[in-house]
Amino acid sequence: MKRTLGTCYYPEHWSRDIWERDAQQMADLGLTWVRIGEFAWSRLEPSPGQFDFEWLDQAIDILGRAGLRVVLGTPTATPPRWVVDKHPDMIAVDAQGRPRKFGSRRHYCFSHAGYRDETARIVTILAKRYGKNPYVAAWQTDNEYGCHDTILSYSDAARNEFRGWLRARYAGAGNDGDIDALNAAWGNVFWSMEYSDFDQIDLPNLTVTEPNPAHVLDFRRFSSDQVVRYNRLQVDILRQYTDAPIAHNYMGRITDFDHYDVGRDLDIASWDSYPLGFLEDRVTASEDHRALFYRQGDPDFQAFHHDLYRAVGRERWWIMEQQPGPVNWAPYNPAPLPGMVRLWTWEAFAHGAEAVCYFRWRQAPMAQEQMHAGMLRPDSVPAAAYHEAAQVMAELADAPAVTCPKGDVALIFDYQSQWAWEIQPHCQGLSYFDIVFDVYRAMRSLGLSVDILAPDTQDLDAYGVVFAPGLMHIPAALEQAMAATQARVIHGPRSGARDASFNIPDGLPPKIANLDATVSYVESLRPSVQIPLAGGGAMRSYREHLETQAEAILTTTEGAAAMVEQGSVAYVCGILDDAGWRRVVENECDRAGIVTLDLPMGLRTRVTETERFWFNHLPHQITWNGMTVPPAGVIRQAKS
């Protein structure tokens, strides 16, 4: 697949006199894609039913005639003021019961039927008008579901639809809800929480102390399903009028909805990669780590999402927005080290991205993002990213098409486990995402190419080793696949610790096929406590005590089991530090005959079908194994 570049453009922000020049300059730079329209509702429909498409017709025409391919966004992330005035209760409500206000974006509740109707209306009109436009080569639904904490809404609309969702989930005879089934599943006898009717059930916020975790988990599932339903509403309309591929642009470390479920309805997964913003805002890291990587971003965080969204997109994925320079929204917003925009672009391609689009073409002189860099400065002078994109363009000319081979190892990431760990963490700071990411980091530090798998994956036999840390409830189909596979499967901590209704499984956890082990008790630990492992590394934060005949293959210095194995199943009985996870991954790869590399800090590698890429994420040169990689350097080698 040929790799391409693009940008995000807002014709409605600029005078028409410069559209032609902008389009020509994009084309001259070699860009293929230009994404437009995703926030333009107030200019498309300034008042109810009064449309102005003339400007968008012209913008698409100018861009298309310059040779660019347009990605047209549906504008539903920014309903204009009149939509909110028409449906005041479409606004999402936060966990404190406060309605969120108009004046920025994403101010809608997924459960509001009136807003869904407005959505269907505007999407239909756009799809009819541009569905067959030869220059509109792809569509984007909405913009960044979940950004700004916008999945969970505690509105009346959400409460009413949640009751309907529960009736369907706990359907009894005659397809009506069976409230006794719900009471039993949730364990509502505890604290006299039993209901006699679904209409008594409220949303799980503002309770005196913590709400029932089973209630919260169902609310989280419902909230995720609402996103799927909302996105599907748009996709179903678009597909009636266009054959162009449809994408959504996901974000980094947003886990409040199941991206695999949304992704199944789309042709392409894309995501918005802001490495420096993420390092300050979303990566769990020490101050030293932040200081070392502040101009480069975390060396693994972007790659993790590349691999995750490759799974969400079933191999087809893009970067829809690539950080071009300093952003405006993180606690600190440094400029990238020269060369990093190029490195981020190549790293995405090495992980299989079809396209990388830079956000945004020109820095905005007004409103919220004035301090966010673009490819051009507001005065249209090219900024640093422009030149780095030009360099990538030149390099792409002689680059072979990039195809991702199957990864060396597999790692399962499961959104429902993320919700479960959040709902019942046992101590402060525990995060399922961090556990999975720590294992991923260990894999990358050993030079491995990783495939992230959805929890409904059946094809485990394709791998020698599958890591499934922290999978709190193992869905039945996956349990069967795990029981049947030849692959070695690494579980724990907390794997199989709850059933689908958030209860301790019969007997005791873990409920894992082919493993005779019982977690007799768990404990959580202060951040300052480390339980050293014999041979290096430590357990931290969370620990389980096992009763088992399975063989301990990793122990604490006091001789307690830290990891056990039985046949091809292994279980890690706690959260490990970086050195601990590295030992586990290295040992498993050794046993499976998978080659690992002992990479120095900051050096990362990734293979495609034809090439091996090396990336230096450090601000200084790395010399390793006879190879010298400059700071922010990328080396491409033909694969022997």
Instruction: Give the residue numbers annotated as catalytic, written as ranges.
Output: 144, 321
Helix (H) or strand (E) segment spanning residue 622: strand 622-624
Cβ nearer to ligand GAL, comparing 246 with 497: 246
Q: Which residues contact 442 (CB under 8 A, 6 or more apart)?
A: 578, 581, 582, 584, 585, 586
In sign, the C-alpha dihedral spanning 516, 522, 526, 531 is negative
Q: Token pair of 304, please?
A: 């993790």
Nearer to ligand GAL, 272 or 588 (CB): 272
In angstroms, give the least distance from the CB of 105 to ligand GAL.
Answer: 8
Residue closer to ligand GAL, measured from CB, 110 or 274: 274
Q: Which is nearer to ligand GAL, 270 or 418 (CB)?
A: 270
Query: Smallest distance, Å, CB 368 to ligand GAL?
Result: 8
CA distances from 556 to 122, 444, 532, 537 (A): 60, 25, 6, 9
- Tell me how far apart the alpha carbons of residues 333 and 567 are, in angstroms, rounded to a whole number: 49
Residue 272 or 422 with smaller CB distance to ligand GAL: 272
224/270 with CB nearer ligand GAL: 270
C-alpha distances in Å from residue 347, one per residue of 88, 254, 300, 445, 604: 44, 21, 10, 15, 10
Among 144, 298, 434, 588, binds ligand GAL (CB under 6 A): 144
| 438 binding ligand GAL? (CB under 6 A) | no
**Nearest residue to 489 via CA among 449, 455, 523:** 455
- Shortest CB 147 distance to ligand GAL, Å: 5
Question: Of 328 and 623, which has the nearer Cβ to ligand GAL?
Answer: 328
Q: Which stretch binds ligand GAL (CB under 6 A): 84-92, 142-150, 194-202, 435-443?
A: 142-150
Stretch that binds ligand GAL, among 82-90, 140-148, 162-170, 186-194 (CB under 6 A): 140-148
Q: The sheet that has 569-572: what strands, in order across it?
A: 450-453, 409-412, 465-467, 488-491, 569-572, 561-566, 551-555
Query: Does 274 contact ligand GAL by CB under 6 A?
Result: yes
Asked if residue 373 binds ligand GAL (CB under 6 A), the reply is no
Residue number with CB closer to ligand GAL (306 or 372): 372
Q: What is the footprint of ligand GAL within residues 325-354 (CB under 6 A)?
A: 327, 329
| 142 lies in the binding site for ligand GAL (CB under 6 A) | no
What string marks each residue from 229 to 268 as x (binds ligand GAL by CB under 6 A) or -? ----------------------------------------
Largest CA distance in the chain: 77
CA distances from 8 to 53, 91, 323, 604, 639 (A): 19, 27, 11, 29, 34
What minimum distance in Å lies between the beta carbon of 251 and ligand GAL? Answer: 6
Which residues, in sequence order, are CB contacts of 345 under 8 Å at separation 6+?
A: 5, 319, 322, 356, 388, 389, 392
The reply on whether position 588 binds ligand GAL by CB under 6 A is: no
**Amino acid identity, residue 224?**
S
Closest approach of Cβ 266 to ligand GAL, in Å?
17
Closest distance to ligand GAL from the beta carbon of 298 (Å): 17
Query: Which amino acid, residue 493?
Result: P
Q: Is 272 in the site for ligand GAL (CB under 6 A)?
A: yes
- Do 343 and 322 form a contact (C-beta atoms < 8 A)? no
> If binding is defined by CB under 6 A, does position 359 make contact with ligand GAL?
yes
Amino acid at 341: V
Q: Closest approach of Cβ 83 to ligand GAL, in Å?
A: 19
DSSP string, 83-95: HHHH-GGGS-B-T
Q: How many residues bind ligand GAL (CB under 6 A)?
A: 11
Closest separation in Å from C-beta 327 to ligand GAL: 5
Q: Strand, coil or helix: what is 292?
A: helix
Site for ligand GAL in 89-118 (CB under 6 A): none
Residue 372 near ligand GAL by CB under 6 A: yes
Q: Near ligand GAL by CB under 6 A, which window of 141-149, 177-185, 445-453, 574-582?
A: 141-149
How is residue 550 written in tokens?
């399975």
Rg over alpha carbons for the chain, rounded to the nearest Å, is: 25
Structure tokens at 612: 């091996």
Q: Which residues of 342-379 are buried (b: 16+ CB within 10 A; e: fewer)?
A: bbbbbbbbbbbbbbbbbbbbbbbeeeebeebbbbbeee
Q: List strand residue ranges (DSSP E) for 370-472, in order.
A: 409-412, 450-453, 465-467
Task: Check residue 147 for interaction with ligand GAL (CB under 6 A).
Answer: yes
- Determine the interface stretch with ligand GAL among 143-151, 226-234, 444-452, 584-592 (rule: CB under 6 A): 143-151
Tokens of 385: 């990213």
Please tell me the distance from the alpha carbon of residue 108 to that of residue 112, in angstroms, as a whole number. Answer: 8
Q: Minimum CB separation from ligand GAL for residue 245, in Å? A: 19
Is 59:19 a contact under the CB 8 Å cutoff? yes
Nearer to ligand GAL, 75 or 352 (CB): 75
Residues 6+ apart with CB under 8 A from 90: 79, 83, 84, 108, 109, 112, 114, 115, 118, 157
CB of 206 to ligand GAL, least distance (A): 29
Helix (H, G, I), strand (E, B) or coil at 157: helix
> How far is the C-alpha of 151 from the C-alpha of 225, rounded, in Å?
10
Rounded to a whole number of angstroms, the minimum distance from the CB of residue 334 to ligand GAL is 14
Nearest Cα neighbor of 159 from 239, 215, 208 is 215
User: Which one of 25, 141, 143, 333 is in contact with ligand GAL (CB under 6 A)?
Assistant: 143
For ligand GAL, the closer CB: 355 or 453: 355
d(CA 606, CA 597): 12
Residue 608 sits in the site that holds ligand GAL (CB under 6 A): no
Q: Which stretch binds ligand GAL (CB under 6 A): 111-119, 139-147, 304-312, 457-465?
A: 139-147
Q: Which is nearer to ligand GAL, 121 or 282 (CB)?
A: 282
User: Which residues, 288 to 327, sit near ligand GAL by CB under 6 A?
Assistant: 321, 327
- To ligand GAL, the closest distance from the beta carbon of 80 in angstroms equals 16
**By C-beta, is 143 or 608 nearer to ligand GAL?**
143
Binding site for ligand GAL (CB under 6 A): 143-144, 147, 272, 274, 321, 327, 329, 359, 369, 372
